[in-house]
Structure 1
Amino acid sequence: MLTQFGVFCRKLRIDNGELLKNMADKLEVTSSYLSAVETGKRNVPHDWIEKISNIYQLNAESAQVLKFAIENSQQSVKIDLKNTSNQEKNLVMAFAREFKELNEDDKSKILSILRKNNGGEV
């Protein structure tokens, strides 16, 4: 099953008359790797937002759609805890342990706090 990123890429290929192999070649990866990314078996590499945007000359709106598709397709998240305080580490670890148990109201409150601290964007 395709992720949101996979759906975006498939549409991009159709719009450009390309096959999966063509896009994989442009991204300098194998077709099987690109397929694994599109189906969520692998995370989307961090540099692909910029790389795809440049290769396909995406406008700002399409690049934003790509960014959200990538974020919503990630299967795991890596957090660098280097140079963080013990309190920050404890916060990250507590959230990682408990986030699946949070109810919708708690998730909304946390998201609201994060948006407030980040100028409305999370």
Structure 2
Amino acid sequence: MTTPFGEAVRKLRVRKGVSQKQMAAALNVSPAYLSALEHGKRGLPTFDLLQRIAGYFNIIWDEAEELFLLARSSDPRVVIDTSGLPPEYTAFANRLAGQIRSLDATVLAELTALLEKGKKADGKAS
């Protein structure tokens, strides 16, 4: 298992031609932590670490911003706050949590498309 952020970090590391051990030493983190981060077994890294990663790869601002966005959307332990919403929202969130592992790629793509469509309809398109 990996996350979009973990995959992006791994690709940057491979492109630079460095091992996890080398990168971890340069960032002052343990190789085990870096491995867990790349494999989606750690939550959102700190902003400080994100800045160190961007600096380590000497990436331009746009690419760094994309990396930061990937990090924010890659926390494997998601919390959905439905307090104050109608009960059907809470029921939906819990049902999704219970079935997420069994969704196939087609259903995931359909749900993603619906969310993007709703985002654009709300005028929040990026």
Q: TM-score range by the shorter chain?
A: 0.5 to 0.7
- CA offsets 1:68-105 (integer angstroms, 9 cap, x no match): 643564322235x5xx86227x5763342133489665
Q: Is the 8 A contact 2:3 2:38 kept in 1?
A: yes
Give the share of equivalent positions with the same residue, in percent. Answer: 30
How many angstroms apart in 2 are the aligned matches of 1:64 and 1:43? 18
What TM-score does the superposition give when structure 2 sets the normalisation length? 0.60
What TM-score does the superposition give when structure 1 sets the normalisation length? 0.62
Which of 94, 97, 102 is equivalent to 2:94?
97
Instruction: Report 1:1-122 matches (<5 A).
Output: 2-47=2-47, 48-67=49-68, 69-70=70-71, 73-79=74-80, 81=81, 86-87=84-85, 90=87, 93-99=90-96, 100=99, 108-117=113-122, 119-121=124-126
Unpaired runs of at least 5, structure 1: none
Q: Is the 8 A contact 2:45 2:71 kept in 1?
A: no
Q: Structure 1 segments of 4 or more deviating over 6 A?
A: none
Cα RMSD over matched residues? 3.6
Aligned length: 117
